[in-house]
Structure 1
Amino acid sequence: MDTWKSTFMVQRSVVVVALFAVAFQWPSARAAGEPDLQQTQALHALFDAEWEANMRRYPEWATYVGDHRYGDRLYDASPATRAAEFESARQSLARAEAIRRDALSPVDQISLELFMHDQRDSLRFEPFVAYRSMSLGALGGFQSNFAELLGASPVETRPQVEQMLARMAAYPRRVDQELARLREGKALGWVPPRTVLDRVLVQLDAQLAPPPPQGPFFLPFTKLGAGIPAVEQQDLRARGAKAVAEQVLPALQRLRTFVADEYLPAAAPDGALSRYPDGTQVYATLLQLQTTTDLSAAQVHAIGLRELTRLRGEMDAVRREVNFDGDFSQFVKHLNTDPKFFHTSPETLLAGYREIAKRIDPELPRLFAQLPRAPYGVRAMPAHMSPDRAEYYDAPTLDGTRPGWFNANAKAWRSRPIWSMETLVAHEAVPGHHLQFARAVELGELPKFRRGGGYTVFGEGWALYAETLGFELGLYKDPYSRFGHLQAQAFRAARLVVDTGLHALGWSRQQAIDFMVERTGQQLGFVTSEVDRYYSWPGQALAYMIGELKIIELRDRAKAKLGPRFDIRQFHGVVLDQGSVPLPVLERAVDAWITSMATARP
């Protein structure tokens, strides 16, 4: 998913919530028959009120989920608003705790548990004021989010464009609020490392360089709806250029000046959380948050090493299969430098991704009984984004007005080998992110906070598991594409080692870079940007393989217990039709399905 979400997580404290096995009870049958109407109405009124409050409080998020009522506003990052957010969480939690769980339907029981833990975990971050101030990241963050927001905003009608102009007028105040937050964190000893801030400056310069009638901020004004009369379009474009020149760019320049003159001189020597005040507690909280488990950093580290050993053996087997005369590092160098393994232009790279997607689409019904209605596409990510930015996915809106998008880094076509493309499409598009997110959006029986939110460990765990489904969908038929799949898996295993190594076990940045290059064969530039990403988004990279391993474990369990009764389409339906949930909830859902299948009449 895109980087706006990381900044939104900082603003709200926590968007993705952590839930642990001991905190969950599987829904009980309603002893007295039908669910209690009064309790059910109270629950749904609470869900609706909280959703509406969040749409008003976080208007950027509202835009991304397709609610454009607040498209003329930006988040208010004032201290008073931030304090009010935590008070609101306390009040919402109290209302939720007053609802009788055993009076609800099974679906509502789960929703109540998820909602309460959302509020509790938001409150867990209340003491970490300084950590919440660090909104500038290596691959994106506050410094790039406004351009992305404008790109996601509708401009089909004049009122929609007027909303965008109002947002642009509000941007200088929003930047000043963020500068105050950054200075607040700086005073408490929380500043990102120089390697991260150097990347931030590059991203800022890329946005500041084009003259106002060009560049990412003016781009939406070149795509105005055909229904807007030509004379009005001309007026709106003139006002847009003026807003970019007089409001947006000067505010962004103030941010750049601050980063260069105040923030960078105070940069931390490295970004390990253990080196910051209260950083050890922050990382422990983030580890639980991102994995929805009680695994320790040492345990996650060990899992990563175990998986790397297994995957390295399989990658070496491919090297031997193609009769390559050389060791692993020489083989990887060959794969990363031989022109035959690369496309010849950005256009052919994008065409290659689209061709892979077209091959996958007709095979999906063999593994899935129900596919989402929302379409998806493949496009180049915006030009202003970092040249070493990894590919990402944008989910469709709740109302279905915007499709899903796999955003490819076409600028980096020279470093995107053909043998890596199949597993990437499986992850970012189908059967990965698009199939999961678009399906969740269509689960109309679930409250909006479950359809429009989610858990990193589920979403990224599913996408990584989806890569393994490529074998059943006709991918990885040649050994090089199979190597690409294995390397992608090894890369996620290495993340378990490196993220915990950096933030909990005293690893240096160079140690992390050397380890990832040697153990995965990924290119140095990509690995370097990834390590800086782990500084910017601690714990997030742990979610991928922890989630994947749990889904594989549950699939293996179901196959072992059900034997010939196991149905892969039903299994995938059980996993996806919960929406995005914590791993303990997913496990209970699958176990309940196994029991029902095992006891059902043939």
Structure 2
Amino acid sequence: MDMPSLSRRDALAGLAASVALAALPAAAVAVPPTPAASLLDRLAWQLLELEPPEATRLGLDTGPHAALRGRLEDRSPAGVEARRGFLSQALADLARVPRGGLDDPTLTSLAVTESAFRTALDGMKLPYGVATIGSWRNTPYAVIQNVGAWLDVPELLDGDQPVRNADDAEAYLERISAMAAQLDGETVRSRMARERGLVPPSFLLDKTIAGLTGTLAEAPLPGGPLIGPLVRKAGTVPGPWSDRAARIVRSRVLPALERQLAELRAQRAVATDAAGLLSRPHGSEWYAWGLRAGTTTRRTPAEIHAIGIAQLADLQKQTDSILRSFGLTDGTIAERATALQHRPGIAFSNDDEGRRQIVAYMQGRIDAIRPRLPRAFRRLVKGNLEIRRMPLAQEAGAPAAYGGPGSLDGSIPGRILVNLGDPSIHNKVTIPDLVFHEGIPGHVWQGEYAQQLPLIRSILAFNAYSEGWALYAEQLADELGLYDDDPAGRLGYLMGLSWRAVRLVIDTGIHAMGWSREQALVEFTAATGLPRSNAESEVDRYCAWPGQACGYKLGQTEIVAQRDRAKAALGARFDLRDFNQAVVDGGNVPLDVLGGKVTRYIAMAKG
């Protein structure tokens, strides 16, 4: 059902407190927004104009904003310049807002928005890359194995794009048509980067070329990634939608895909196997920004590398103890962990039945944690969640799974999209912490709280907080007893922590110390015991998104440090539910803003 033509703030207020509002006189409800609130709302809608798919994801492309449903963002150099202009003006407007008399949530929202916009603008001043605002997919490469319209548009069409009537079907066709210009914009930026000496690693280009070639072959098919979702979703909506979509794909999209493929092949002709940014023009400068964006700290690569090594050593001691309890005493930790994952009753079959069982096991872990959540939170959200296989074209360059919340009105559920291309990467060791991280009480759960904040806060994301929270969610699952009778799951939890700790070592090793891909793969498998195919997907992701992988463990480490600080300050008055509620209610924030939120929580708890 479409949302009415209200501001998003009014709509959320009605959803969150309808009973209380109904009991108040009309005059008490009609409170005009403050200048700060009005500015934040205006900036949010301006940002959605620049990023129309985000409006669709949030379910806000309705009423006066319905035109957003048929548009895509401009990824050309002109589109990047438009974002720069928006950010510069927005920062000037934010600087003029008087702070006196504003409440804490509004002050936090202003600080969060200013931080996100300034970081994004600094990134867009770099010689290449970074065409997004408030996103975790920061990359110097306009098109690579896990970035580009060739992936993003099919995922949008298959997932969040609604087709309930003829207008929706027309919007779907408009988005397919707009894909051609988006592809060409990326191709221009890729060519400009190549001319400046920036070329991705050869092994990433090989994956990208293979994926794009597959998309070219599948795109014109009735069941392909562009036409198939329309056929499935249109259902009883009368009209020649499939035929019209096929004509657009053949006449516009395929030529643009071919032009992009030609550029990627030109890059491959001059590419090397150097994995990181250290060997690329402006690489150190870009990586410093990538770490800043990915961690919301100013920690140096050397500091981050040392933190990873120290945490990994402690985690591997705990992992060794559990492996010995399974009778696995000979070999490295990685060898023993791998052996356990192949035992009968732990692994799933490498076929469609195994894929079905994987999804069912994931759902079972979500069902198990739901009744325990009142022990960790004062106020529960719904946790609207479904588990689905990610689009096939995406699987080769994607992680094991990823997740996030659904639309604001609940019509689109939150999702865990699971990579089932190689079922062997999933088993009863690896699945529990994965679903707690991506789903509940991780990304999907935290995202539903964030959606109750002003619209701008639902759009902007800080990798260190969101991924740090998701990793902290795995810790909460342990503290709530989910592993008490599941030693295999506990092993997976510790392996997952090791995985995130070794990311600090590998990401900095690749981009600041000149590590090769093979050296990174050896370090990853030795630390985690995960399969080679998983290792390759992970390491290649670090090569494509420099700095992003460091946000997980640094974010979780900071949340735990803030919890320890609160415990020390409050003593017997500390309550886990209140701390968690303060952190999750504060929304997605940079880590320094998180510290301020906890300081205010401590003061309130002391009375």
TM-score (norm 1): 0.88
Task: Tell which deviates more after alignment, 430-439 or 46-55.
Answer: 46-55
Tell me which of 238, 242, 254 is aligned to 2:243: 238
Structure 1's 83 and 250: CA in aligned 2 closer, same or farther, altered over 3 A?
A: closer
Counterpart of 2:460 in structure 1 is 453
CA distance in 2, matches of 1:50, 1:582: 19
Tell me which of 374, 391, 403 is aligned to 1:393: 403
**1:476-517, CA deviations, whole angstroms, 9 ceiling, x for partnerless residues?**
223222111110100000000010111112222221111111
Give 3-state SS (helix, strand or coil) of 1:385's partner: helix
1:400-549 correspondence runs (5 A): 400-441=410-451, 443=452, 446-476=453-483, 477-549=485-557
Structure 1's 576 and 292: CA in aligned 2 closer, same or farther, altered over 3 A?
A: same
Residue 227 of structure 1 deviates from its aligned partner by 5.8
Task: Tell which deviates more after alignment, 404-413 or 207-216.
Answer: 207-216
Tell me which of 354, 359, 371 is aligned to 2:368: 359
Tell me which of 66, 79, 82 is aligned to 2:59: 66
CA distance in 2, matches of 1:347, 1:387: 19
CA distance in 2, matches of 1:77, 1:488: 35
- Matched letter for residue 474 of structure 2: E
CA distance in 1, matches of 2:328, 2:282: 50
CA distance in 2, matches of 1:249, 1:492: 39
Residue 225 of structure 1 deviates from its aligned partner by 4.7
**1:411-437, CA deviations, whole angstroms, 9 ceiling, x for partnerless residues?**
322331211111111111111111101
Counterpart of 1:14 in structure 2 is none
Counterpart of 1:143 in structure 2 is 150
1:363-374 correspondence runs (5 A): 363-373=372-382
Counterpart of 1:112 in structure 2 is 110
Q: Does 1:279 align with 2:283?
A: yes
In the alignment of these two chains, the number of paired residues is 554
Task: Tell which deviates more after alignment, 102-111 or 430-439.
Answer: 102-111
Structure 1's 334 and 104: CA in aligned 2 closer, same or farther, altered over 3 A?
A: same
Counterpart of 2:196 in structure 1 is 188
Counterpart of 1:591 in structure 2 is 599
Kept in 1, the 8 Å contact 2:395–2:421? The answer is: no
Structure 1's 115 and 215: CA in aligned 2 closer, same or farther, altered over 3 A?
A: same
Residue 107 of structure 1 deviates from its aligned partner by 2.0
Kept in 2, the 8 Å contact 1:354–1:378? The answer is: yes
CA distance in 1, matches of 2:123, 2:71: 25
**1:274-323, CA deviations, whole angstroms, 9 ceiling, x for partnerless residues?**
21221111111121221112211111111000010000100111122222
Kept in 2, the 8 Å contact 1:139–1:199? The answer is: no
Counterpart of 2:260 in structure 1 is 255
- Matched letter for residue 464 of structure 2: V
Q: Does 1:170 align with 2:163?
A: no
- Matched letter for residue 471 of structure 1: D
Counterpart of 1:42 in structure 2 is 35
Counterpart of 1:31 in structure 2 is none
CA distance in 1, matches of 2:404, 2:605: 36
Structure 1's 463 and 108: CA in aligned 2 closer, same or farther, altered over 3 A?
A: same
- Matched letter for residue 149 of structure 1: L
Counterpart of 1:76 in structure 2 is 74
Tell me which of 254, 266, 269 is aligned to 1:265: 269
CA distance in 2, matches of 1:272, 1:220: 37
Residue 386 of structure 1 deviates from its aligned partner by 2.2
Counterpart of 1:334 in structure 2 is 339
- Matched letter for residue 319 of structure 1: L
CA distance in 2, matches of 1:148, 1:245: 19
Residue 270 of structure 1 deviates from its aligned partner by 1.7
Kept in 2, the 8 Å contact 1:347–1:410? The answer is: no
Question: Unaligned 5+ residue runs, structure 2?
Answer: 1-30, 131-139
Counterpart of 2:221 in structure 1 is 212
**1:41-85, CA deviations, whole angstroms, 9 ceiling, x for partnerless residues?**
332232222222112222222222223221222222343443232
Q: How large is the RMSD of aligned CA atoms in angstroms?
A: 2.0
Give 3-state SS (helix, strand or coil) of 1:216's partner: coil
Residue 440 of structure 1 deviates from its aligned partner by 1.0
Give 3-state SS (helix, strand or coil) of 1:405's partner: strand
Structure 1's 264 and 582: CA in aligned 2 closer, same or farther, altered over 3 A?
A: same
Residue 126 of structure 1 deviates from its aligned partner by 3.2
Kept in 2, the 8 Å contact 1:171–1:248? The answer is: yes
Residue 388 of structure 1 deviates from its aligned partner by 6.0
Task: Tell which deviates more after alignment, 264-273 or 501-510.
Answer: 264-273
Give 3-state SS (helix, strand or coil) of 2:387's partner: strand
CA distance in 1, matches of 2:253, 2:85: 32
Residue 247 of structure 1 deviates from its aligned partner by 2.8
Q: Does 1:160 align with 2:153?
A: no
Kept in 2, the 8 Å contact 1:395–1:405? The answer is: yes
Kept in 1, the 8 Å contact 2:385–2:413? The answer is: yes
Kept in 2, the 8 Å contact 1:207–1:384? The answer is: yes
CA distance in 2, matches of 1:84, 1:433: 30
**1:393-420, CA deviations, whole angstroms, 9 ceiling, x for partnerless residues?**
1321233321100111233223312111
Structure 1's 388 and 80: CA in aligned 2 closer, same or farther, altered over 3 A?
A: closer
Residue 378 of structure 1 deviates from its aligned partner by 1.1
Kept in 1, the 8 Å contact 2:165–2:234? The answer is: yes
Give 3-state SS (helix, strand or coil) of 2:225's partner: helix
CA distance in 1, matches of 2:173, 2:595: 47
TM-score (norm 2): 0.87
- Matched letter for residue 332 of structure 1: A
Task: Tell which deviates more after alignment, 111-120 or 576-585.
Answer: 111-120
